[in-house]
Chain A
């Protein structure tokens, strides 16, 4: 594949980094190139691509129908309206979409570790965690991401402030999803194959993120703001998008930073314990 910066490289055949783009810039280019190739791969089977994306949108629409019927019968649910629930779905499916489209290996980390499939990434001169995460794209999740945008346009506040708030909510939600899954996946470094357990943890986060936080009380609510931080995603419509609740925002940002740092730290700590198998792997 011809890269945009190939011309630039031609003049510098040596190993000198003089006049080369900076480290960050190179990483960004690498990430963008990975995403582009992933998407090109997914688009190879056009019909299958459309069918997968479409069925994921249908899946989400079913929940919209359910909540639509629910709110027709019971107009308010502990202070939550239909619009809040819609925005909650947008935040959750958007965050999940960001993770699965751009960092698609996050949910497969446990399996990659347990089966020794990290070898191929270790041999490449790129940050291991980033390289692992971005090298897969879930096609169906494109439907989730599109769905989030449709819902926002249909039910959200499409003003400049509204758009900024929604984008911020999506980014926080996405980060929580990614690094929660990284941490859940990293358990494999210590506990052997935790494929099932890691999946159940991720599933719990996803399921809890799609129900109004207002229905949970006591211990259940505590869990949602600590061990399974789905509460920071599902509360977005009420505590951040509708009206700004500063303590909630600080909590959400703090949790995101904690998960992010914890995930990276755990991964590189675990990597020291990583033992590969004899599986042969190859990447272009």
Chain B
């Protein structure tokens, strides 16, 4: 990998992306109506479920925690841009040739761009989601977990980037990668715990979920924020970064293999 030595340039790439994203804040806010809609529906669903169960907690989650869990997962998922669309376009249009000859690492460039884009979208979603959460169910009891949310979210987005990159890099071999990304996102919805905490899954599925990297993307950060024990947090962080290293290595290998195979027409 080339030119990873000067982190300053990646900070600048991040800053530029941040600025261009700030120009679209209003547009992004309008699209956030969906967040409101989905949180309202899930509130109704869990309210009915809790009433049906007649208990204060379901698998350790109170109604309030369940709702805030969804605020955190939905805010994260709705903040993620599509890496496949970006890289597929670059490959198809030939723009990738310009990216490859720059004195910056291709992967690190995309990471800097992705993270700064995600940062602004996530903050907006969190503000909006929290406003909705406060309005619908009231404040979340503030615990130590909430302080760990930024760290967990950083790791979660990094794993998400790495997994997304694995899918997106297949554009070096095949033409259509968006279908694959679509399937990946759906995995995140279910086994990744976006729609429902892993604790509510059937026993066997829970066990499978704990052995896969998908839980580290949204389940870990959301679970941390709504109240994970301090001991669990360090364990979760270790698992998260182990996956970052593992999938990161896979991305690196795939990139090295792919870039040799790539044929660019036009540009």
Contact = CB atoms under 8 A, between A and B. Distances in A.
A51 B45 contact: no
A74 interface: yes
A69 B183 contact: no
A69 B52 contact: no
Interface stretch (A52-60, A252-260, A275-283): A52-60
Contacts of A200: 33-34
Q: Is the interface of A mostly helix, strand, loop or mixed?
A: helix
Given A51-B179, A62-B190, A215-B47, 19 more contacts: A48-B176, A55-B183, A58-B183, A59-B186, A65-B190, A69-B201, A77-B48, A77-B52, A200-B33, A200-B34, A203-B34, A204-B37, A207-B38, A208-B41, A214-B48, A215-B48, A216-B44, A220-B40, A220-B44
A69 B205 contact: yes
B45 A66 contact: no
Interface in A146-197: 196
B232 interface: no
Nearest to A208: B41
Contacts of B34: 200, 203, 207
B48 A66 contact: no
A69 B195 CA distance: 11
A70 interface: yes
Q: Is the interface of B mostly helix, strand, loop or mixed?
A: helix
A211 B45 CA distance: 8
A233 to B, nearest CB: 15
B176 A72 contact: no
A74 B52 contact: yes
Across the A-B interface, the 5 shortest Cβ-Cβ residue pairs: A62-B186, A215-B44, A51-B179, A215-B48, A55-B179
B41 A211 contact: yes
A52 B52 contact: no
Nearest to A52: B179
Interface residues of A, number: 32
Nearest to A60: B186
17 contacts: A55-B179, A55-B182, A55-B183, A58-B186, A66-B190, A66-B196, A73-B202, A74-B49, A74-B53, A78-B48, A196-B30, A208-B41, A211-B45, A215-B45, A215-B48, A217-B44, A220-B40
Interface string A27-71: 000000000000000000001100110110011011001100110
Interface of B: 30, 33-34, 37-38, 40-41, 44-45, 47-49, 52-53, 176, 179, 182-183, 186, 189-190, 195-196, 200-202, 205
A76 B52 contact: yes
Contacts, number: 67
| B53, B179, B196, B201: most-surrounded residue (chain A CB, <10 A) | B179
Contacts of A58: 182-183, 186
Contacts of A55: 179, 182-183
Contacts of A62: 186, 189-190
Nearest to B45: A215
B163 to A, nearest CB: 17
| B34, B38, B48: most-surrounded residue (chain A CB, <10 A) | B48
Nearest to A203: B34
A70 B196 contact: yes
Contacts of B45: 77, 211, 215
Interface in A83-142: none
A77 B190 CA distance: 20
B258 to A, nearest CB: 20
Contacts of B37: 203-204, 207
B77 to A, nearest CB: 13
Interface string A216-258: 1100100000000000000000000000000000000000000
